[in-house]
Amino acid sequence: MSKSLPMSEGVFTDIESLRSLLDAVPHPIFIKDDQTRWVVVNEMMCQLMNRGYDDLVGQFDEAFFPREQIDVFRSNDLHVLATGEINENEELFSDGDGRLRTIVTRKKRVLLTNGVRLLVGCITDISDFRCAEALIRHHADHDALTGLANRRSFRNRIEEHSARANRSSSGFAILLVDLDDFKPVNDIYGHAAGDSVLCEVSRRLEKVVRKGDTVARLGGDEFAIAAETKRSPATEASRLASRVIAAIRKPIMVGEVSIEVGASIGIAKSSVDGNTAEGLLHAADLAMYRGKHEGRGTYRFFSPEMDIEVREQIALETEFRKAVAGGEIQPYYQPLISLVDNQLLGFEILARWHHSERGLIPPDMFIPLAEKLGLISGLSLSLLRRAGEDAKTWPDHLRLSLNISPFQLSDPTLPIALIGVLNEVGFPPGRLEVEITESALVSDLSSAKAILTSFQNLGIRVALDDFGTGYSSLHHLRELRFDTIKIDRSFVQSIRTNPESEMIVNAILGLARNLGISATAEGIENTDVLQHMTDGGAKVGQGYYFGKATPASDVPSVIQRIRGKQSHGNTG
Ligand code: C2E
Ligand code: CA
Ligand code: CA
């Protein structure tokens, strides 16, 4: 059957030479890497597939060939390629300076190239493929990247599971698995790395399911499992979900980098949550959506009220997009007061959404939405622009404080964008402070540091917001030279009733003093608390005692009132 390989020199310097070597083999051959993607295919393979070389390289083999139709390592020709006349572990091909080395071991018949495991497959009997139809069908039913069932065939598989369940009085569960934090993988490491992660995730999913269960890739970073359940569907499905989460959470090595993703899972149970493939997938989708909202890396079972909530959420998102585009999100202003001389120092900009039916919507409701929808940066800039306009009529020593969401701190263009807005409205950078929370520093301290430093270089002050609630790390305070620490209102408010709060507030005030950072006490609602904060050395105060956040139209009267209070002495 075979024509022996041209092993003249046994040397090739790159993939191209290997390719031309394989072109001489009269059988379709592919070499795949450990991600089971084709690295090299020969001329015969291209002919068989009726596709160009560049089209095929990079593809996942099983997108085309069911495993049973590939005679991996068994062809005579391949045997020559794989073992030749040489001894185990002997080098077959190598370049002069060892850049690309191919080793073949007799036992494992694995080619090693530059330390990458390459598997060699050879299609020995083309007559197996006489049914090109089967090939095409396979392609249509499988995801080209991972080789898993695709959405279309998954639906069919659900119907099959359903029929089987009816016959055997067993049941099945649909697990919708959505990766957490996958998008940054593509953004940071590129699409090839993203693809490798998806392939590895599919392999892990296939490992954790039982025989007979179906794993599919529905698209993007969304996977699904149809798993048979017997006596206790809920328990069995939760166990599987926990196994999936644990399997995906383990770091994935792509080349030299270790990448971590997680998974959120929604579960729907057959016959309870739906009878059709569509219904079950929808239910699992809603449950997954809920899981994402309540904290990632978990699983949720579908319950009927999710349907209503999600519809509302989607409606809210649509309205919110419109509101942002239509400038319906307005800046409100809450006074910041000097505790040294009771003077008005400026205002914190707090976003408010005036909704025609729902009324005034607080930022805790829509800021997360803005973050999720990628609208937060635009929103911040538009709030700052409007605040800068509003401030034109105020006394020109007054400062503005702008809240910056952690998401924005991964954008190195942020400082320039803010300066651009300030220039546009003629508001000096020295009168602006940005407020960030500590959570923004945790994921990537060095890039946060770079951005915060450029703020300060541009003359913008930087405040650490809500201090005491999150990590409260001394390291962060040392690493970044904050101009202000804002003590979270929860401690300030309970200072008289909770001894622990008192200790924390005193500790933060001490820390600020030692580091030479100004401390702002948030949430001052009465004179008692005010007195305590003043005695403790807080330099700036904020809270309902001085005034709530108000629209621009009320600011002049707020300025008047505070002036009045100041001249009458601060008695509340
Ligand atoms: P924050 O930055 O800690 O803002 C202070 C919050 O405390 C404000 O709530 C304010 O109204 C409230 N507050 C002030 N004084 C008192 C007081 O004496 N007692 C009580 N009980 N509460 C007081 P608000 O306006 O609802 O804002 C909530 C959070 O939403 C803000 O917390 C901030 O994290 C976020 N936020 C608001 N506007 C923006 C924005 O434009 N961008 C971003 N990224 N976040 C914003
Ligand atoms: Ca704030
Ligand atoms: Ca705060």
The H-or-E segment that residue 179 falls in is strand 171-180
pLDDT at 84: 32
Question: Is 208:240 a contact under the CB 8 Å cutoff?
Answer: yes
The chain-wide mean pLDDT, for the chain, equals 81
Checking if the pLDDT of 209 tops 90, the result is yes
Q: At what angle do helices 376-391 and 363-372 cross, to 10 degrees?
A: 130
| Residues 182 and 194 sit within 8 Å (Cβ to Cβ) | yes
The stretch 307-329 carries a mean pLDDT of 89
Residues 555, 559, 564: CA angle, nearest 5 degrees: 145
Contact 364, 549 (CB under 8 A): no
CA of 400 to the centre of ligand 1 (A): 14
Which residue has a Cα nearest atom 44 of ligand 1? 405
CA 463–ligand 2 middle distance (angstroms): 9
Over residues 252-286, the pLDDT tens digits come to 999 889 999 999 999 999 988 888 898 999 999 99
Q: Does the Cβ of 363 fall within 6 Å of ligand 1?
A: yes
Least confident stretch, 146-155, 346-355, 399-408: 146-155
Closest approach atom of ligand 1 to CA 380? 41
CB atoms within 10 A of CB 93: 20
- How far apart are the CA of 96 and the centre of ligand 3, in A? 64
CA distance linking residue 288 with residue 170, whole number of Å: 24
Among 350, 465, 494, residue to substitute to test ligand 1 (most atoms within 8 Å of Cβ): 350
CA of 489 to the centre of ligand 3 (A): 7
CB 70 within 8 A of CB 138: no
Share of the chain above pLDDT 70, in %: 78
Binding site membership of 334 for ligand 1 (Cβ less than 6 Å): yes
pLDDT for the residue numbered 15:
64
- CA 39, CA 50: separation in Å to the nearest integer? 17
pLDDT digits (tens, 9 = 90+) for 392-443: 999 999 999 999 998 898 888 999 999 999 999 999 999 999 999 988 887 7
Tokens 């072109």, residue located:
23
How much is the pTM? 0.61
**pLDDT at residue 22, as a whole number:** 66
350 lines ligand 1 (CB under 6 A): yes
Could you tell me the two tokens for 163?
A: 């029929």
Q: Which residue has the higher pLDDT, 515 or 60?
A: 515
Spatial distance between the Cα atoms of 266 and 282, rounded to a whole number of angstroms: 10
Tens of pLDDT, residues 64-110 = 554 443 433 322 223 333 333 333 333 333 333 322 233 333 333 33
Q: Decide which of 66 and 243 is more confident.
A: 243
Residue 541 has pLDDT above 80, yes or no: yes
In this prediction, residue 6 carries a pLDDT of 31
Take residue 326 and report the two structure tokens written for it.
């239509």
The answer to whether the CB of 370 falls within 8 A of the CB of 379 is yes
Q: Taking residues 470-496, what's their average pLDDT?
A: 87
Relative to the alpha carbon of 487, which ligand is closest?
3
CA of 350 to the centre of ligand 1 (A): 6
Nearest CA to ligand 1 atom 21: 523
Residue 564: how many CB atoms within 10 A of its CB?
Answer: 9
Cβ-in-10-Å burial (0-12, 13-18, 19+) of 215 comes to: buried
Ligand 2 center to 401 CA (angstroms): 8
Q: What local confidence, expressed as pLDDT, does residue 132 receive?
A: 37
How high is the pLDDT of residue 91? Answer: 33
